[in-house]
């Protein structure tokens, strides 16, 4: 698996934070391409010059938008994993799905910001691209680390199955395909882990 590329970040001043708050809301609600810097500056109550002075470009503002959402997601996920510390490895895996369900309810009405941004950008040369792919690489690495505690010999395959359940729930939630996709993904993950425990290490996924 490729290592994460650390994107360039800027130091946040009060004015920059106002711009970022406006950009986060507008980018997530309306999309990255349809939202211009004039609208962001107006919503933040700053001049366009101030926006460019703080961020340098719209591309850097997209980096900060996605990186900040990722930081908040990791913080929430960390709190759920901390709450499950000391429990069985399966419980910590299920805590990831519980965290995703809580995040989606509060911050994810339009689905995953990384997936949405990838649909708009999709260019590896864009400075925000490492934030998008890095977040998904980090999630797979997390599932792999947790899966290794259950079945070290087949951790990669188990982690990939769990990642597919997680990402499928993220997409289904954003599209409103059916009710409570995270709850259903959590139930399916529980069934997968119970099957693995009953079959023993190295058993193929059901």
The residue with greater pLDDT, 132 or 204, is 132
Residue 34 lies inside a defined structural domain of this protein: no
C-alpha–C-alpha distance, residues 121 and 124, integer Å: 8
User: Whole domain around residue 117: which residue ranges?
Assistant: 62-199
User: To which H or E segment does residue 30 belong?
Assistant: helix 14-30
Residue 47 lies inside a defined structural domain of this protein: no
% the chain with pLDDT above 90:
85
pLDDT of residue 4: 52
% the chain with pLDDT above 70:
94
Residue 145 lies inside a defined structural domain of this protein: yes
Residue 82 has pLDDT above 80, yes or no: yes
C-alpha–C-alpha distance, residues 124 and 132, integer Å: 10
Residue 51 has pLDDT above 80, yes or no: yes
pLDDT of residue 72: 97
C-alpha–C-alpha distance, residues 144 and 27, integer Å: 31
Residue 85 lies inside a defined structural domain of this protein: yes
Mean model confidence pLDDT for the chain: 92
Residue 7 lies inside a defined structural domain of this protein: no
CATH number at residue 85: 1.10.357.10
108 pLDDT band (50/70/90 cuts)? confident
pLDDT of residue 205: 53
Q: What is the dihedral of CA 74, 124, 112, 131, to 10 degrees?
A: 20
Residue 44 has pLDDT above 90, yes or no: yes
116 pLDDT band (50/70/90 cuts)? very high
Residues 145-204 have pLDDT tens digits of 999 999 999 999 999 999 999 999 999 999 999 999 999 999 999 999 998 888 766 565
134 pLDDT band (50/70/90 cuts)? very high
Mean pLDDT over 100-125 rounds to 94
Residues 6-40 have pLDDT tens digits of 677 788 889 899 999 999 999 999 999 999 999 99
pTM assigned to the model: 0.90
pLDDT of residue 3: 44
Q: State CA 5 to chain mean position distance.
A: 16
Q: Could you tell me if 13 and 39 are in contact, meaning their C-beta atoms sit under 8 angstroms apart?
A: no
How many domains would you assign to the chain?
1
């Amino acid at each position: 698996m490729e290592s994460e590329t650390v994107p360039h970040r800027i130091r946040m001043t009060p004015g920059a934070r106002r711009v970022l708050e406006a950009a986060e809301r507008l980018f997530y609600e309306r999309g990255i391409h349809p939202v211009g810097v004039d609208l962001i500056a107006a919503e933040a109550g700053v001049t366009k010059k101030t926006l460019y002075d703080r961020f340098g470009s719209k591309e850097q503002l997209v980096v900060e938008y996605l990186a900040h959402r990722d930081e908040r997601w990791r913080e929430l996920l960390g709190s759920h994993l901390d709450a499950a510390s000391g429990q069985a490895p399966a419980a910590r895996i299920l805590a990831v799905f519980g965290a995703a369900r809580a995040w989606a309810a509060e911050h994810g009405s339009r689905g995953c910001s990384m997936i949405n941004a990838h649909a708009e950008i999709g260019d590896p040369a864009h400075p925000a691209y490492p934030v998008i792919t890095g977040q998904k690489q980090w999630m797979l690495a997390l599932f792999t680390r947790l899966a290794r505690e259950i079945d070290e010999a087949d951790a990669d395959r188990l982690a990939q199955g769990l990642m597919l359940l997680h990402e499928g729930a993220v997409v289904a939630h954003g599209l409103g395909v059916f009710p409570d996709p995270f709850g259903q993904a959590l139930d399916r993950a529980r069934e997968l882990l119970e099957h693995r425990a009953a079959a023993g290490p190295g058993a193929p996924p059901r």
